[in-house]
């Protein structure tokens, strides 16, 4: 496989569906490699400890931990992974949950054959891909909140809030990594994602944001 191929992880409790997704990806352009396959969320979390995956595709309906809960857990550990949720349900509440969990894409399974490769390429570039019957205005409302309000603290994942609070406590990235039991690289990615998501540009901006949203007390 070409070393420049996009590395994809698949999570679905139906082997036939995983095989179907793999067939689509094997013929994809640009090249894509299925670097990981898991039949459950716990198995996926274990495999992601070592698997080199850039984009993770996960079914939303699985026994035990569902795809949205998996997304939240993955992003707490591996914020560099871009996640697309695949669903049979064209449901606004599920889309909102997925967005709050930090996923980059939400696709109905009926659209997978036609749009999967485009979606993967888009999210791998840092874009979003939401394809449902919901109007774009509603999806953007979930993503950004009302246009008359600034982004709120709820736009951050629980792990990002932890990292932000420790930054405000004056800890270095290495100290935060040791405190949370994660790698220095993961902390650095979390910090960059926080600043990009909130459109902030310095540590001073981060502290001001945390104070304004009552995440810390000064």
Residue-wise pLDDT tens digits, 167-205? 998 899 999 999 888 888 889 989 988 988 888 888 888
Q: What angle do CA 156, 159, 163 make, to 5 degrees?
A: 90
DSSP class of 151: P
Q: Do domains 6-144 and 153-212 have the same CATH topology?
A: no
Does residue 51 contact residue 28 with C-beta atoms inside 8 Å?
Answer: no
Question: What's the mean pLDDT in 82-95?
Answer: 90
Pairing of strands 55-59, 32-38: unpaired
The reported pLDDT for the residue numbered 148 is 34
Question: What's the mean pLDDT in 209-217?
Answer: 78
Instruction: Using the predicted structure, report yes or no on whether residue 152 has a pLDDT greater than 60.
Output: no
pLDDT tens digit string along 111-123? 898 899 999 999 9
- 212 pLDDT band (50/70/90 cuts)? confident
Residue 31 zone, left/alpha/beta (φ > 0; ψ -120 to 50; rest):
beta
The CATH code for residues 6-144 is 3.40.50.2300
DSSP class of 83: E
Does residue 38 contact residue 9 with C-beta atoms inside 8 Å?
Answer: yes
The reported pLDDT for the residue numbered 132 is 81
Closest CA to 6 of 131, 129, 118: 118
Q: What angle do CA 205, 208, 209 make, to 5 degrees?
A: 85
Domain ranges of the chain: 6-144, 153-212
Q: Which residue has the higher pLDDT, 115 or 3?
A: 115
pLDDT tens digit string along 6-23? 999 999 999 999 999 999
pLDDT tens digit string along 98-112? 988 889 999 998 889
What average pLDDT does the chain have? 86
Distance separating alpha carbons of residues 122 and 84, to the nearest angstrom: 11
Q: What is the pTM of this model?
A: 0.69
CA 52 to chain centre: 15
Instruction: Using the predicted structure, report yes or no on whether residue 159 has a pLDDT greater than 80.
Output: yes
Sheet with strand 55-59: strands edge to edge? 32-38, 6-11, 55-59, 82-87, 105-108, 129-131
Structural fold of domain 153-212:
Arc Repressor Mutant, subunit A (1.10.10)
Distance separating alpha carbons of residues 218 and 203, to the nearest angstrom: 15
Distance separating alpha carbons of residues 138 and 24, to the nearest angstrom: 30
């Amino acid at each position: 496989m070409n070393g420049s191929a996009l590395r994809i992880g698949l999570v679905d409790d139906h082997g036939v569906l995983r095989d179907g997704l793999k067939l689509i990806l094997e013929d994809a352009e640009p090249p894509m490699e299925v670097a990981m396959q898991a039949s459950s969320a716990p198995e996926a979390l274990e495999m992601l400890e070592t698997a080199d995956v850039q984009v993770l595709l996960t079914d939303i309906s699985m026994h035990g931990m569902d795809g949205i809960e998996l997304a939240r857990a993955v992003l707490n550990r591996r914020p560099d992974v871009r996640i697309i949720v695949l669903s049979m349900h064209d449901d606004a509440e599920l889309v909102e949950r997925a967005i709050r969990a930090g996923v980059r894409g939400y696709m109905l399974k009926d659209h997978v054959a036609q749009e999967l490769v485009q979606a993967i390429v888009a999210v791998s570039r840092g874009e979003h891909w939401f394809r449902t019957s919901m109007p774009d205005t509603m999806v953007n409302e979930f993503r950004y909140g009302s246009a008359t309000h600034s982004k709120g603290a709820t736009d951050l994942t629980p792990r990002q809030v932890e990292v932000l609070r420790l930054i405000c406590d004056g800890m270095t990235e290495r100290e935060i990594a040791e405190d949370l039991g994660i790698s220095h690289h993961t902390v650095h990615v979390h910090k960059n994602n926080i600043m990009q998501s909130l459109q902030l540009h310095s540590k001073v901006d981060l502290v001001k944001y945390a104070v304004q949203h009552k995440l810390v007390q000064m």
